[in-house]
Chain A
Amino acid sequence: MVPTAYYLVLAAILFSIGVGSFLIKRNIITIFMSIELMLNAVNLTFVAFAHHWHQINGQIFVFFVMVVAAAEAAVGLAIIIAIFRTRQTLNVDQIDLMKL
């Protein structure tokens, strides 16, 4: 049986990859994918702990997270399309309208 710690370490690695690529990548779609990766890393820890403590709460939270992620992806992709239509680019460094 695989120890819980392994899952957590894997989740931490996945989360770090997500954070890292979020910070490094310029393409907005790739950034979006790294957000999904972070969410899934968190989901993995929820599942691991739920299994470890024999509690159902973690499993339920995973469903919530997936629902929110699906909704966010839908809205996010719509925004991405809108941005692409107006600015003809997906490079976030060029989308800095809110800069002071």
Chain B
Amino acid sequence: MSPQTSMTPAYYLWLIPLLPFVGFLINGTLGRKLPRAAVTAVALFFTAIPAGIVAWLWSVMTATNAPEAIHAVSRPWIAISGFQVNFDFTVDHLTLIMLGVVTGVGFLIHLYSAGYMAHEEGYWRFFAYLNLFMFFMSVLVLASSFLLLFVGWEGVGLASYLLIGFYFKKDSASDAGKKAFIVNRIGDFGFLLAMFLLVAHFGNLNFTDIFSTITQHPEWHGGFLTAIALLLVVGATGKSAQIPLYIWLPDAMEGPTPVSALIHAATMVTAGIYMVARCHTLFDRSATALIVVAIIGAATAIVAASIGMVQHDIKRVLAYSTVSQLGYMFLACGVGAYAAGIFHLLTHAFFKALLFLAAGSVIHALSGEQDMRNMGGLRKRIPITFWTMTSGVFAIAGIWPFAGFFSKDEILYQTFISDNPIAKLLWLVGLVTAGMTSFYMFRLWFKTFFGEERFEEAAHDAHSHESHDSHAHGVHESPWVMLLPLVILGILSLVGGWGHVAFGNFLDPVFGSGAVAEVATTASHSLELTLAAVSLIVVAIGFFFAWLFYYKKPGTAAALALKVKPIYSLLENKYWVDEIYGAVIVTPLLMFTRLILGGLVDTGLVNGSGALAGATTRGLSTLTRRVQSGNIRSYAGWLALGAAAILVVMIFGRSLWVH
């Protein structure tokens, strides 16, 4: 690279994270005093510019025939003898896609938030946190070392915690924030251990150095690479809400809806997928780790989808759907189809952000109502929301020609043809999940937009979300700042999947052309078409049941639920996973804390030693107090005794010491 061409994009690279940070500083410090319009302007400006820079980077990087990663000018960050980490940003094609998602979808959600949060208290605080999130998320994707990635990783966790607990006066919201934070810390522990192992084995944490070292040693397989990969997976399960650490994501729905769309659907939760894809060199060397990733992904996909089928809260359905779709991405990574995983990440970012925002628009229209049992017939009341959400529902259900069809189909196909020993089983799980996805999404669609109107406009205040009190008038379409992002995302959900072959080629420089090339070969083309047909049939079955249960004969679902009561309550109670965690981990931990730490250590040891010291002093003082008698003759006696003692020591002491 000549300095002229490399210096300019590298210089602008710094601006991508820096600008949102400036926005955070301005809104975070002065926001309280600024008018809402100014807060909005600051927040939008400092996210729009990075989005523009990314668009420009995109054009620069796709213009060159031989695409090369762009490195920002690096500065030494941590330098200890024999170990150095630079503060260094890199952009390759994988990063570019992530950056596009983060800044593009991020900007749209900022725009939407301006409308959605317009009547909220702490408007400035919300946008400050949102900008802070953008800062950390861009650090995460731009990082060219594990350590810098970890900075962003922790930072988005912090921003997520702040935003989930945004309505901090509500106990459930602040509890959900804490839950997300704690569960993520468990995952981060694995990530940290992985980094320690990396330092121990490679002596450094830079992506390029580590991966080129691995490439230079083709004989390395399994062993410590498996250990590192599995520990990284632990970190990824926390951030990307996979089994067993997925429990925080549904609870995170306590945060404002734009946050659910941005952080808990489109960007932060995909960091785990991104990290696994980024480390594909490492994972490719460990068959064990790949199988673990694939199984975790498939299991998460189907478990979350099954829970999603019976939830009543519109946002919780979407939350479980997110967990399920992230499972798909994990599955893709687990069978080595990283490009397919990232492709699904991209299309999912479009349609899931859209779904959340549309759900937010529905909630907005109903002044805070989130329970689907109180919705229905909204199709005519809020037509733009309806049509955009329809695009999202069709996309996630995997109906041709919407975006989700291409990415999900790609994953299922790649799973089917992979050389994983249980590939066919994984494919079957993925297929069933696709059917379930179709069912619960159309269930949501029918319950919300079709049938009779179950909400009572007069009784608004009864269910009113406390923060929406200010506009408790009838059902209304959202303002244009909310609809514009919906329309843009709706169009993206429709057309976003069409370039799927080009997309695979686009990622070739990162993943190598191995996995994706097979798609183009004509030999497997008929197989792919067959699989696509099968999955479309399954999706249609899902649609049929949703239509039957929730449109044609609305009572059927309830009747069926009564018939299979144990299964239904198992699903409705989310397999009692939270309760199991509570019984297996939280309760013993609390007991240990109360009895051993609180009772024995705190009360016994700490308080006891304090009390003992006090009692000893008191006892000694009662003894010595007798000396202070106020009686001259006793003083004189003590004095004489002391003098006599000194005399004795002086005369006989020497002979005692010498021997």
Contacts and interface: CB of A to CB of B under 8 A. Distances in A.
A97 B629 CA distance: 10
Contacts of B633: 22-23, 92-93
Contact of B629 (A19, A23, A99): A99
A96 B630 contact: yes
A5 to B, nearest CB: 16
Contacts of A96: 629-632
Interface string B615-637: 00000000001001111110011
Nearest to B627: A100
A26 to B, nearest CB: 8
A1 interface: no
Nearest to B634: A23
A2 interface: no
Contacts of A22: 633, 636
A75 interface: no
B561 interface: no
Interface in A1-60: 19, 22-23, 31
Contact of B640 (A23, A31, A93, A100): A23
A97 B630 contact: yes
B631 A93 contact: yes
A31 B640 CA distance: 14
A100 B636 contact: no
A19 B640 contact: yes
Contact of A100 (B625, B632, B637): B625
Interface in B636-659: 636-637, 640
B630 A100 contact: yes
Contacts of B631: 92-93, 96, 99
Contacts of A31: 632
B618 to A, nearest CB: 15
Contacts of B628: 99-100
Contact of A92 (B625, B632, B637, B640): B632
Nearest to B643: A19
Contacts of A93: 631, 633
Contacts of B629: 96, 99-100
Interface string A63-100: 00000000000000000000000000000110111111
Contact of B636 (A23, A95, A97, A99): A23
Nearest to A92: B632
B633 to A, nearest CB: 6
A23 B637 CA distance: 6
A52 to B, nearest CB: 19
B640 A99 contact: no
A22 B637 CA distance: 9
Nearest to B633: A23
Nearest to A93: B631
A89 to B, nearest CB: 14
Contacts of B630: 96-100
A99 B629 CA distance: 5
A99 B637 CA distance: 16
Contacts of B625: 100
A100 B630 CA distance: 7
Interface string B378-398: 000000000000000000000
A98 B627 CA distance: 12
A46 B629 CA distance: 34
A54 B514 CA distance: 114
A100 B625 CA distance: 8
Contacts of A95: 632
Contacts of A100: 625, 628-630
A92 B634 CA distance: 11
B428 to A, nearest CB: 90
26 contacts: A19-B636, A19-B640, A22-B633, A22-B636, A23-B633, A23-B636, A23-B637, A23-B640, A31-B632, A92-B631, A93-B631, A93-B633, A95-B632, A96-B629, A96-B630, A96-B632, A97-B630, A98-B630, A99-B628, A99-B629, A99-B630, A99-B631, A100-B625, A100-B628, A100-B629, A100-B630
Closest 9 CB pairs of A and B: A99-B630, A96-B630, A98-B630, A92-B632, A100-B628, A19-B640, A23-B637, A22-B636, A96-B631
Interface of A: 19, 22-23, 31, 92-93, 95-100
Given A98-B630, A100-B625, 4 more contacts: A19-B636, A23-B636, A96-B631, A96-B632
